[in-house]
Amino acid sequence: MEKLERSVDLQEAAVLQRRRNAETQRQSRVFNTRERTIGVDKDALDAQIHDRRVREEIEKKRREEFGSQMVQNDKIACLLDERQEEDIRNLNRATGEFQQCFQKKEDRREFDLYDPQALQKDLPARVSDDDPRCSISGVQRLMGEDLFEQERKRQQQEQLREWCLQQQRELQEALQDKKLADDLYGKMRIELDKKAMELQRMEEQTRREICGFTKEFNKAQAEESFERRRFEKQQQEEDNSVEISNLIGGDLLSEDPAQATSAFGPHRVVPDRWKGMTPDQLEDVQNTQQQQIQEKMRLKEEERMRQADWDRQRMQEDRAVILLERQQKRQEKEFRKAQDHMNRQLAEAHKAQKNYYDKEVFSNPPSDNYFGQFNTTSR
């Protein structure tokens, strides 16, 4: 009885614990604002998306590896197919050549069975008593006898010897042809080398002749250039001497100022013949410079006075700005005082209102037990 009651208690405790666990899980879902708003398990969805992307990436890499392996296998298969086809062609070619050379239909053992000239070559039904074609019933040749064995072997040996001699002759002819071709190739190379040496010798001879002609031509050109420079130098010296004599005897080096007068008017002169200004001209220039100096000093004095006026105006404006800023600061100070007095009155009124609410209106405030009874169950 006690065992039965204990088992029932354990079952009830297990059921109660299972309900508590379910309630705890449900509260975690209900009180979680994010899951309640979304409506699904986002972490599980993210894990599923991550797993699916990992599987897709693995599948993509596997497909790429399979693709590259298939391409490589296709290339290898193509190469093997080409090699097999080439081997088959070479084998067929070699087989055909061997059959044409060593397996002629005339040399076959059963050629007499399908020889188109068999009737023309055939002998009469009976030639003599020793005719090997006689049948067994004639008792002229028994089964197993070979009356022409020696002759047949001799003919076979003769045929084999002829074949060997023919092969040797063909081999000797091939070797002779190869040797003849090598000799001809060597002679041709020797002839080509001789021709190349002859052409090189002719080219060197032509180059030497061209160098000699070029040297003579350059020498003639140098002599001609030397003579031309000597003649030009002599001509230049003569021209210089004539020019010096003309300058010495002419008006250019004289002190006559009239020879610098220009043909375009008395106020203009020729620069390369001008000998300087006269005392009157120098005096005019000095007077003009003095006038320019006085005019420049007058302009500087006017500029100084104008600058002094501007400085005085700036000082007055700065003084007015300073006075305006002081007045503005005084007004701001008075405004702050008034605002502080008003804030102090508002604070006192707010404090009095709060004391009234705390003492008269909200005399019975709720405790923590009142707020703790909310959000305790998911039902």
* Residue 227 reports pLDDT greater than 80: yes
Answer whether residue 367 shows pLDDT above 80. Answer: no
Residue 209 confidence (pLDDT) above 80: yes
Helices (H) and strands (E) in the chain, counts: 7, 2
Q: What pLDDT is recorded for position 292?
A: 92
**3-state secondary structure at position 262:** strand
Query: Tell me, what's the pLDDT at 299?
Result: 93
How many angstroms separate the CA atoms of 193 and 201, rounded? 12
Indicate whether 340 pLDDT > 80. Answer: yes
Joined together, the tokens standing for residue 275 give 């000998």
Q: Does position 37 have pLDDT exceeding 80, yes or no? A: no
User: Which two tokens mark 62?
Assistant: 């596997």
Record the pTM. 0.23
Give Cα 332 to chain centroid, integer Å. 70
Cα separation values, 92 from 78, 81, 102, 106, 108, Å: 21, 16, 15, 21, 20
Structure tokens at 82: 């080409």
pLDDT for residue 300? 92
Residues whose CB is less than 8 angstroms from the CB of residue 375 and which lie 6 or more positions away in sequence, other chains included: 31
The whole-number pLDDT of residue 44 equals: 74
pLDDT band at 296 (very low <50, low <70, confident <90, very high): very high
What pLDDT was estimated at residue 270? 67
The pLDDT of residue 46 is 81
Of 83-87, 175-179, 228-232, 273-277, minimum mean pLDDT range: 273-277
| Res. 377 pLDDT band, cuts 50 70 90 | low
379: nearest Cα among 4, 27, 13, 5: 27
pLDDT at 129 over 60: no
